[in-house]
Amino acid sequence: MGHHDSQELDTQLVYLGRDPKRDLGSVNPPVHRTSTVIFPDYKTFRAYEDDNATHRGYGRYGSPTLDGLEEALIKLEGADRAIITASGLSAITTSLLAFLNAGDHVLIPDCMYSCARAFVVQELPRLGIEVEFYPPTIGADIEKLMKKNTKVVYTESPGSNTFEMQDLPALAKVAHAHGALLISDNTWATPLLQKPFDLGVDISIHSATKYIAGHSDLVMGAVTCKQEHFKTLNRAHRNIGAIPSGDNAYLALRGLRTMAVRLQKHQEHALKVAEWLQTVPEVKRVLYPALPTDPGHAIWKRDMTGASGLFGVELNTVTEEALGAMLDGLEYFGMGFSWGGYESLIVAYTPSRMRSVTEWGKDARFLRLHIGLESPKDLIADLDAGFQRLRTTMQKAA
């Protein structure tokens, strides 16, 4: 802290958010488990609601453990300020509630994370906020959808499940010309692989549950922003009160230390598995912006310095029974939600169920794979045996 001001990412990951001098020599900061925060005297007590008060007042307003995580994310992402939230979803909901008022219009990409989509569809309209979905690859043509009351253009790049890359600088230009904010879910890229504020993003959101924590042992979120937006964001955060425990903040900070090395492996392994999947006859296409054949590859190359380990595949015609035979026998791929942990995961999905303005085929079957740190050799062999089971089941039924 302070005395370590290297601009080198690898060094920053080791030093950010901790201070052994302050913490009695401990390499890692202590976990603060806090509700009540005792005031030192009556004068401080009287002043704690002042804007410049240094006393925190109450455990819901954070702790030194959360401060360490905030400091690290601010620096890594090139932001001025951050809030840490109880989940990635509450990072999204807090951000939207902070900047939207009754009578406003918000543009949402069709690829928005499904639970956030449920929030904008089920909660925002009853608060008098007009929600409109747009095709994620719209780029500068978003101009046509801008209204006088458009206050937020939301983005998620690449998109959940369908992995479209969004042209953030083009969207930012249009949004800003209309006085709207660009809010971006940057979870897939992590604070390491994309610098949202350089691309014109105003508010950057993370599910820290994924690569930041990195070990599938907690749920947490974060939002970073420039100073000018902090007051509004923090007002909503304090009023909503969705903060994580000190224990989880500690674990997330610990996860952060190894994020760069983990991501290198996730990318290396994911590319190998994705390239292999492109040779499987049952696979129609692989949705992974790091592949040169992906429609979003040029934007990915322009805006990101690497890829994480999550991607999708569209399957050719397949029966439920055959898909079940494939998935049930997998040895290394767990069937479960979330991603960004050290282990491989797989889920089946039908994108059309979560889309309203883009076409994905009513019954098209997709698999989402998170490629973990296991040997790609084992992962490919596991999937290969899975496709054999799928094939045999399909042939038996034919």
Ligand X SMILES: Cc1ncc(COP(=O)(O)O)c(C=O)c1O
Pair of tokens at residue 217: 């042992």
**Vertex 296: Cα angle to 365 and 366 (nearest 5):** 10
Phi, psi (rounded to 5 degrees) for 370? -105, 120
**Using rule CB under 6 A, residue 333 touches ligand X:** no
- Residue type at position 139: G
Identify whether the C-beta of residue 319 lies closer than 8 Å to the C-beta of residue 394: yes
Q: In the set 196, 221, 255, 341, which binds ligand X (CB under 6 A)?
A: 221
Q: x/- site string to ligand X, residues 288 to 327, per CB under 6 A?
A: ----------------------------------------
Nearest approach in angstroms of CB 115 to ligand X is 6
214 binds ligand X (CB under 6 A): no
Question: Do 278 and 291 contact (CB within 8 A), yes or no?
Answer: yes
Q: Is 216 in the site for ligand X (CB under 6 A)?
A: no
Q: Pick from 219, 267, 398: which is nearest to 322 by CA?
A: 398
Residue (161 or 234) nearer to ligand X, CB = 161
Q: Which is nearer to ligand X, 77 or 156 (CB)?
A: 156
Q: Point out the residue whose Cβ comes nearest to ligand X.
A: 88
Q: Is 157 in the site for ligand X (CB under 6 A)?
A: no
Q: How far is the CB of 310 from ligand X (least distance, A)?
A: 8
Of 81, 151, 210, 262, catalytic: 210
CB of 246 to ligand X, least distance (A): 18
Q: Which of 113, 134, 154, 288 is catalytic?
A: 113
Binding of ligand X by 87 (CB under 6 A): yes
Query: Could you please report the per-residue DSSP string of 258-313?
Result: THHHHHHHHHHHHHHHHHHHTT-TTEEEEE-TTSTTSTTHHHHHHH-S---SEEEE
Footprint (CB under 6 A) of ligand X, residues 182-211: 185, 187, 207, 209
d(C-alpha 300, C-alpha 298), whole Å: 5
311, with CB counted inside 10 A (0-12, 13-18, 19+), is buried
Active-site residue, from 60, 272, 285, 391: 60
Q: How far is the CB of 393 from ligand X (least distance, A)?
A: 30
Nearer to ligand X, 100 or 252 (CB): 252
60 flagged as catalytic: yes
In the complex, what is the shortest distance from the CB of residue 158 to ligand X, in angstroms, rounded to a whole number? 9
Q: Does 94 bind ligand X (CB under 6 A)?
A: no
Span from 54-62, 86-94, 165-173, 191-199 in contact with ligand X (CB under 6 A): 86-94
Strands ordered across the beta sheet of 345-349: 283-287, 310-315, 366-370, 345-349
Annotated active-site residue 151? The verdict is: no
* Burial group, residue 342, by CB count within 10 angstroms (0-12, 13-18, 19+): middle
- In the complex, minimum distance from the CB of residue 92 to ligand X, in angstroms, rounded to a whole number: 6
Residue 69: alpha-carbon gap to chain centroid: 16
Q: Measured from the CB atom, is 17 or 88 closer to ligand X? A: 88
Q: Is 301 a catalytic residue?
A: no
Alpha-helical runs (H) found in the chain: 9-15, 42-47, 64-77, 88-99, 114-122, 168-177, 190-193, 227-240, 246-257, 259-277, 297-303, 320-328, 376-397
User: Would you say 216 or 319 has its CB closer to ligand X?
Assistant: 216
> With respect to ligand X, which residue has the nearer C-beta, 175 or 205?
205
Interface positions, 106-125, toward ligand X (CB under 6 A) = 113
Which of 164, 185 has the CB closer to ligand X?
185
Sheet holding 181-185, edge to edge: 81-85, 221-225, 203-207, 181-185, 150-156, 105-109, 130-134
The reply to whether 113 belongs to the active site is yes
Structural contact between residues 201 and 168, judged by C-beta atoms closer than 8 angstroms: yes
- Binding residue (CB under 6 A) for ligand X from 17, 29, 68, 88: 88
Residue with tokens 């809010």: 183
Size of the site for ligand X (CB under 6 A): 13
Alpha-carbon span 262 to 275, nearest angstrom: 20
Q: Please tell me whether residue 161 binds ligand X under the rule CB under 6 A.
A: no
Active site (catalytic) residues: 60, 113, 185, 210
Return residues touching ligand X (CB under 6 A).
87-89, 113, 156, 160, 185, 187, 207, 209, 219, 221, 338
